[in-house]
Structures are given as C-alpha cells and as structure tokens.
Amino acid sequence: MKVWERDTEYTKWRWKPDGCECELPVFNPTRFLELVRGKAMAFVGDSVARNQYKSLKCMLHGVARPVNQTTETGTRVKRYFYTHYNFTLVYIGSTHLVKAVDVDPFSLKPARLHLEEPDETWASRVENMDYVIISAGHWPFRPRSDARRSAEFQGDGNSEDDLATTHFEPEYWEGRGNCVRKRPFTRDEIRIDWYLNMFLKVQMEEFRAAEREGRERGLRFRVLDVTEAMRFRPDAHPNHYGHPPGHPKRYADCLHWCMPGPIDTWNELLLQMLKSENKEGSEDGKGLLY
C-alpha cells in the first residue's frame, strides 16, 4: 500500500500584496471572539465554504471550545456555540445557493436549477444572523438544466475544463488530475484562466447590485476577493494526502485547501474586516458577502 507523506513547506508562506510594506497580522482568536461577542455568524456555500468554516473553528480552538448544538441529521447544517462569548457559529451547506434538484457530486447527470428561488436550507435560517458569509465554488462548471430560464456558460460535462481548476497539472492528468507543486507560483507561472476571470466579473457585478439593494434595506454588504492571492498557491491543496490512512487513493483534491494553510488567510482578512466595521460604528448593520 502506498503511504503518502505530506511536506509542510506550504505552511511557511505568507500572503503580502505587491508594493506594500504592511504585513497582514497573524490571526488573534481572542480579538475575533470579542468582536463577535453576542452575535451569530453563518458560512453558507459548498465545500469551499465548509473549508473556511473549519479553518476558523480550528483557529478559535486554542482559546475556546464550543458546544456542539447541531440537532439536524446529515452534514448540511452544523451549529456551534461559544458559551463564554455568547457567539454562535454555523455552517449551512448549499452547493448552488439556489434551489437545486437531482444534485449528485459524483455524477455528470445534469441538476435542475431554479435560478429565481434561493435554497431554503440557508434562506430559512439566516434571518436572525448578524453575519452571513456567502461563498461559491466550482459548481457552476458542472452540467445543469435550468428550470426557470437558460443559464449561460454551461459546459458539456465531458471536457477537462468542466472539472479542472487552474492548479491541476495537465501532464499529470489522472482521474480528476493532480496538483504536485511544492512551491507557490511565480508571477511568470500564473496561467490566464478565462473561466475564472469570467465568473469573477459576473460575481462582482452581482455583488454591486446586491450592495445597492441591501443599502435600501439597512443591510451592509462587503466582498473579500481572494482570487489573486489564491492563484499563487498550487502547493497547498490536499492532493492525495487528504485520504484517511488505509483508504485507497480515489483522486487528487486540487480544489480544497490544507489546514493550516493559505485558507487561514481568508479568516485573517475576515478579522481585519470586522475590526474595520467596528471602528466605523457599523455594528447595527448586518451582513457580509464573500
């Protein structure tokens, strides 16, 4: 049996913007919990949202152990309560964010999407949340049939582009691919990804529309765009190392992120956003959008 041993060099790299002498502060779990004292925060989205939620939970673990208040069966809703801080942390799984029927992550069979109807799994649970962090992964690439109106940019489910991310190495294509890099990309190695740029453009347009409408309803929307920072990190995916010992290698996971790793940067930036919001005296407003 093949034993996969993961190097840890990927944990030693820190994100820093070009042309800036500043350093992103290391995550302070106590400061985070003080800022969210008495509040509730929900992470909504697919497995990438779950990845960030688990990262945050791990980063808080050193100073506070939450009570598991999960009462619903299955994995779509997780709820934890930090008693000392009266803080509730929730993960709500929703692959497409909209109503989706016949979703099967292991099949290329099209799912039926109702684009004008939100997924009730999350929509029915966030009304009393102080912060709702919405994220979307790569599900738009999967084949689908839209029930209410046609959707653009639909793949046929048969090409590599429908399942691959920019961090898959085509020369190591095996099943879903491979991500073998052990160092971040240099700027010269970054690949132009038309799909990624296109979806980023669409998401930003929709964010601005939501921001305008939310302002009229007393909601505050913010966006944290981690696209550029994460493009450089092909070295920090689980690859084959995410499988439990003794389990056969099924595929290389080049989509999610190791913990600790660069996904922790998302929560470091989230903390800075909360600190900024607090300074602006915006605690009466609600809402964050990723």
Question: Catalytic amino acids?
Answer: 47, 253, 256
Partner residues linked to 287 by β-bridges? none
Q: Angle of helix 263-279 relative to helix 47-60, nearest 10 degrees?
A: 70
SS (HEC) of the chain: CCCCCCCCHHHHCCCCCCCCCCCCCCCCHHHHHHHCCCCEEEEEECHHHHHHHHHHHHHHCCCCCCEECCCCCCCCEEEEEEHHHCEEEEEEECCCCEEEECCCCCCCCCEEEEEEEECHHHHCCCCCCCEEEECCCCHHHCCEEECCCCCCCCCCCCCHHHCCCCCCCHHHCCCCCCCCCCCCCCHHHCCCCHHHHHHHHHHHHHHHHHHHHHHHCCECCCCCCCHHHHHCCHHHCCECCCCCCCCCCCCCECCCCCCCCCHHHHHHHHHHHHHHHHHCCCCCCECCCC
Q: Which amino acid is at 2?
A: K
